[in-house]
Chains A and B, each alone.
Chain A
Amino acid sequence: MATIAEKILAAHSGRERVSPGEFVNVSVDVVLANDITGPLSINEFERLGVSKVFDPQKIVMVQDHFVPNKDIPSAIQAKALREFSRKHGVVYYEVGRAGIEHVLLPQEGIVGPGQVVIGADSHTCTYGALGAFATGMGSTDIAMAWATGDAWMKVPPTIKFVLHGRLQPWVGGKDLILHIIGEIGIDGALYSVMEFHGEAVTSLGMDGRFTMSNMAIEAGGKAGIFPVDANTEKYIAAHPPKSGPRPLLKYHTDSDTDYVRVVEIDASKIEPCVAFPHKPSNTKPVSQAGSVTVDQVVIGSCTNGRLSDLRVAAEILKGHKVHPSVVCIVIPGTQKVYSDAMDEGLVRVFMDAGAVVSTPTCGPCLGGYMGILAPGERCLSTTNRNFVGRMGSKDSEVYLAGPAVAAATAIVGRIAGPDEVAPATQEVSTK
């Protein structure tokens, strides 16, 4: 009897089964790096003195953090990644033909169910939404995997989260995962796999699932996995791998006794949620946020930069103006999301409202560029972390929420629920 994670790790380590706590060498299907973590990996790879990578088709490089280059040192990093990628012929995504890695890779069909994906970015866990075992590692681990095609892992225990009931209007994946982190704390799933079940997530679209898996790391999780279902299969059919069809590997956990813990949540009671500074676990329902004025709103990132996130934001912003004292920055997650948002008229809504619409970048989320905060400034953001100094000055504040609360906040000028600007009865087209 085994969990999804254990079955995937067993299949990738040539074993019948693996048990939590065991150390295994796991073969990897995709190895990811970006313009910040990649250059360090290149350094370490070159120290090894190996001339070739194990399989150029399984190595993916994405320019996304500080690009288009924000300064000369960033340009040097981007150049290092570009040159190494060309030299080794790996899968490489250039600015203007790419986007934020964790929005991009599912969209391009690079990641899929049953795979083991490792990436030098903590939010690599996003791909668990597709039923993959995906986890973030550091640059040296990634560099060694470029050479060997495998990585060591300690098999993690799995915690099952069952989200019962139907979701309230405007509640999406971000509200669910913030609520969970608020309940269990930022180390509540330390070294564990979070596996998501229940009516509330079965009905959740893939974009909402990506958001939830993305933030497993914010609870200390090693992976955040959804079982493959009809929604997953539909998404995969619409985003086929360019390298040709892949077998659809559907793993399921055998029994509840395979979990280290089962957490049951009544999701029908969850309101749109906000995480206050300076921890993602510092959550409150938006109705209890009080009067918190903001200077900036960011809508985007690997957490909430997908088309359905922009649709939710546009639905609320349509016909409204961004509050005079707020800067609103909208960042579509990939070039394709940007293009689709233009075709659907969403970009027009944002621009008419007085928001900035930027080319895809991780920029403001990690305090890189494109929306850095001054001392004393506050930002409500659809990103994933709100630690001290995350988005700029150590004396600034970041509040985390989903796109509905972000759009409402941009209009009202203080943290606000969508009910304050749009009728609550309105159905959200995609969650």
Chain B
Amino acid sequence: MILKGNAHKYGADVNTDVIIPARYLNVWDAALLAKHCMVDIDPEFTANVRAGDMIVATTNFGCGSSREHAPIAIKECGVSCVIAASFARIFFRNAINIGLPLLECPDAAAECETGDTLEVDLALGTITNVTKGTTYTASSYPEFMMGIIEAGGLVPYTTRRLGGRRA
């Protein structure tokens, strides 16, 4: 699958408190969560983001709380994938589980700026910065995780597993 959109660039340690502050966690509806996505790091984000856009950040993206509300809010905003130099582990799991693609690629993350147009080939793991004319390859997913991604997330993956067990 080819994803195309504009980059919204942030720095290191973008944590779940700024992605979706806990004051908005009294609901679990994705559309309501998306209204406040990134509010404490970029108040204009929800006004500026367009379907297909990508969040790009440096190291340790998604650190902090286990709140799955964070990748849910990002996905619901129309963000097609997150590219970072590295991800915090719970955020990484959560995103894979709900079907929000993540790409780990320090060079692409370092060189990208807000507004750059990016093209991502998920199957090949390549990131093209169309604005800058550069191409990068992200770390590939372990085979085990590809199973979850290919199933479309952890719920369909588990449905399949449980189906197999019953048969």
Chain A residues in the interface with B (C-beta under 8 A): 23, 36-37, 39-40, 43-44, 47-50, 65-66, 70-71, 73-74, 77, 119-122, 124, 136-141, 143-144, 147-148, 152, 154, 186-187, 190-191, 217, 220, 222, 279, 366-368, 372, 385, 387-390, 392, 394
Residues of A within 8 A of B17 (CB): 366-367, 385, 387-390
Residues of A within 8 A of B13 (CB): 186-187, 279
Given A39-B28, A190-B60, decide whether A48 and B155 contact each other with a Cβ distance below 8 A: yes
Is there an interface contact between A389 and B158, defined as CB atoms closer than 8 Å?
A: no
Report the separation of the CA atoms of residues A385 and B17 in the bound assembly, to the nearest whole angstrom: 9
A302 to chain B, nearest CB (A): 12
Please tell me which one of the listed residues B26, B40, B89, B158 contacts residue A388 in the complex, with CB atoms under 8 A apart: B40
Q: What are 12 residue pairs bridging A and B, where the CB atoms are less than 8 Å apart in the complex?
A: A23-B142, A36-B67, A121-B65, A136-B90, A148-B162, A154-B142, A187-B86, A217-B90, A220-B89, A366-B25, A389-B21, A390-B22
Please tell me which one of the listed residues A43, A77, A152, A222 contacts residue B89 in the complex, with CB atoms under 8 A apart: A222
Q: Give B161's nearest chain A residue, CB to CB.
A: A148
Is there an interface contact between A368 and B158, defined as CB atoms closer than 8 Å?
A: no
Is there an interface contact between A138 and B155, defined as CB atoms closer than 8 Å?
A: no
Is there an interface contact between A368 and B64, defined as CB atoms closer than 8 Å?
A: no
Choose the segment among B93-101, B109-117, B120-128 that binds chain A (4+ C-beta atoms closer than 8 Å).
B93-101
B27 within 8 A of partner (CB): yes
Report the separation of the CA atoms of residues A136 and B22 in the bound assembly, to the nearest whole angstrom: 17
B49 within 8 A of partner (CB): no
Given A44-B155, A187-B59, decide whether A385 and B64 contact each other with a Cβ distance below 8 A: yes
Is there an interface contact between A47 and B86, defined as CB atoms closer than 8 Å?
A: no
Report the separation of the CA atoms of residues A430 and B139 in the bound assembly, to the nearest whole angstrom: 47
Is there an interface contact between B63 and A140, defined as CB atoms closer than 8 Å?
A: no
Is there an interface contact between B66 and A138, defined as CB atoms closer than 8 Å?
A: yes
Report the separation of the CA atoms of residues A17 and B72 in the bound assembly, to the nearest whole angstrom: 36
Please tell me which one of the listed residues B22, B40, B162 contacts residue A394 in the complex, with CB atoms under 8 A apart: B40
Is there an interface contact between B41 and A388, defined as CB atoms closer than 8 Å?
A: yes
Residues of A within 8 A of B90 (CB): 122, 136-138, 217
Residues of B within 8 A of A144 (CB): 154-155, 158
B29 to chain A, nearest CB (A): 10
A217 to chain B, nearest CB (A): 8
B3 within 8 A of partner (CB): no
Report the separation of the CA atoms of residues A36 and B27 in the bound assembly, to the nearest whole angstrom: 8
Binary interface profile of B, 139-160, with partner A (CB < 8 Å = 1, else 0)?
Answer: 0001011001000011100110
Q: Give A66's nearest chain B residue, CB to CB.
A: B26
Is there an interface contact between A141 and B60, defined as CB atoms closer than 8 Å?
A: no
A381 to chain B, nearest CB (A): 14
Given A138-B68, A140-B68, output 6 extra A-B contacts at Cβ < 8 Å: A136-B90, A144-B158, A147-B162, A148-B158, A187-B60, A190-B88
Is there an interface contact between B18 and A37, defined as CB atoms closer than 8 Å?
A: no
Is there an interface contact between B88 and A367, defined as CB atoms closer than 8 Å?
A: no
B15 within 8 A of partner (CB): yes
Q: Give A389's nearest chain B residue, CB to CB.
A: B40
Q: Give A42's nearest chain B residue, CB to CB.
A: B28
Is there an interface contact between B63 and A220, defined as CB atoms closer than 8 Å?
A: yes
Is there an interface contact between B155 and A140, defined as CB atoms closer than 8 Å?
A: yes
Taking CB atoms and an 8 Å cut-off, the chain B residues in 47-72 that contact chain A are: 59-60, 63-69, 71-72
Report the separation of the CA atoms of residues A37 and B65 in the bound assembly, to the nearest whole angstrom: 11
Q: Give A43's nearest chain B residue, CB to CB.
A: B28
In order of increasing CB-CB distance, the 5 nearest A-B pairs are A138-B94, A73-B26, A138-B68, A366-B22, A23-B144
Is there an interface contact between A137 and B93, defined as CB atoms closer than 8 Å?
A: yes
Q: Give B87's nearest chain A residue, CB to CB.
A: A190
A282 to chain B, nearest CB (A): 11
Residues of A within 8 A of B21 (CB): 367, 389, 394
Report the separation of the CA atoms of residues A147 and B159 in the bound assembly, to the nearest whole angstrom: 10
Residues of B within 8 A of A124 (CB): 66
A298 to chain B, nearest CB (A): 15
Residues of A within 8 A of B25 (CB): 36, 65-66, 366, 368
A192 to chain B, nearest CB (A): 9
Please tell me which one of the listed residues B22, B28, B86, B158 contacts residue A190 in the complex, with CB atoms under 8 A apart: B86
B14 to chain A, nearest CB (A): 10
Please tell me which one of the listed residues A136, A186, A385 contacts residue B60 in the complex, with CB atoms under 8 A apart: A186
Report the separation of the CA atoms of residues A65 and B145 in the bound assembly, to the nearest whole angstrom: 32
Report the separation of the CA atoms of residues A116 and B117 in the bound assembly, to the nearest whole angstrom: 44
Please tell me which one of the listed residues B88, B155, B158 contacts residue A220 in the complex, with CB atoms under 8 A apart: B88
Residues of A within 8 A of B23 (CB): 367-368, 372, 392
Interface centre among B21, B28, B64 (most CB of A within 10 A): B28
Q: Give B68's nearest chain A residue, CB to CB.
A: A138
Taking CB atoms and an 8 Å cut-off, the chain B residues in 1-53 that contact chain A are: 13, 15, 17-18, 21-23, 25-28, 39-41
A219 to chain B, nearest CB (A): 10
Is there an interface contact between B26 and A140, defined as CB atoms closer than 8 Å?
A: no
